[in-house]
Amino acid sequence: MHLPSKVTICEVGLRDGLQNEARILQTSEKLDLANDIIDAGFKVIELGSFVSPKAVPQMVDTDQLFSSLNHIDGIEFRALIANKKGVERAINCGCRKVKLNVSASRQHNLANLNMTPEESVAGFEEIVNIATQNGIEVSGSISMPFGSPWEGNIPIEDVQSIVEAYLNVGITEISLSDASGMAVPNQVYSMCCIMQERYPQVKWWLHFHNTRGMAMANILAAMQAGITQFDSSFAGLGGCPFVPGATGNVASEDVVHMMDEMGIETGIDIVKLIELSKKVRQIVGHDTDSYILKAGRSKDLIKR
């Protein structure tokens, strides 16, 4: 089995995890969680999104989070944006990394934006130019590349067409995001191998939801294909608003525990991460999709 010696994990709980929660956290609570994330060893953190607070009220204070945390060296703080206004907010609060997103589902994109995915990405060119002129890095994300509730499986040619549209506007860091939770390991392995061979200039990330219990197996398949960068969310928080029954992102503590047990370096302290996720579960006030929070580490079972 071919596996990497080291992986990078981005904690997305402050954005993708909290954006679906009924309770809106205070800025001070988010900053407390952000500091715990940093203390646990994460070097890449998605702090929030620059979107309309009317649409996503949980993200209303993303600007304040960046202003409060920008002074910390050695951490990549990133945010999701949707339009020109988003990048302008990023500039004003000192954000240095933003991510754009488009759906691989043509039906979904046409219904919501009246554009094909490629047309959506082409429209990002002005945003990328503004960001670059202001020293902000831009990455891209493709939602539902493995399958959507509308089309079922997405042809890989459609995904490649979106990748090429991103490359055309100067974006070379791309995430494949299984927001619908429809990916399966052999499909993940095949797509990752094909994409890396065809687009060696791209820095790839994988983002899995655990809706059907496939996320950990999909991460393993992606690693076997050579992928070393993954998103995850504390306590397994998150969801997908347009997919009925969708559960959260794969839990950060589940991913780090698996890496630890397999001897793969993450730079993350699993004990601190578990305590953080327990705190998150208490804050949101409901059970979450995390095996490690339920069962503990394998090492915890060993009688000494």
Q: How far apart are CA 204 and CA 195, in angstroms?
A: 9
Task: Tell me how far apart the alpha carbons of residues 2 and 176 are, in angstroms, rounded to a whole number.
Answer: 21
Position 168, amino acid: N
Among residues 10, 95, 192, 240, the one annotated as catalytic is 240
User: Both tokens of residue 248?
Assistant: 């959260």
Nearest to 141 by CA among 81, 53, 85: 81
> Could you tell me which residues come within 8 angstroms of residue 273 by beta carbon, excluding any fewer than 6 positions away?
40, 234, 252, 253, 256
Phi/psi-derived region of residue 226, left when phi > 0, alpha when psi is between -120 and 50, beta in every other case: left
In angstroms, the CA 280 to CA 286 distance is 10
Residue 240 annotated to the active site:
yes
Catalytic residues: 240
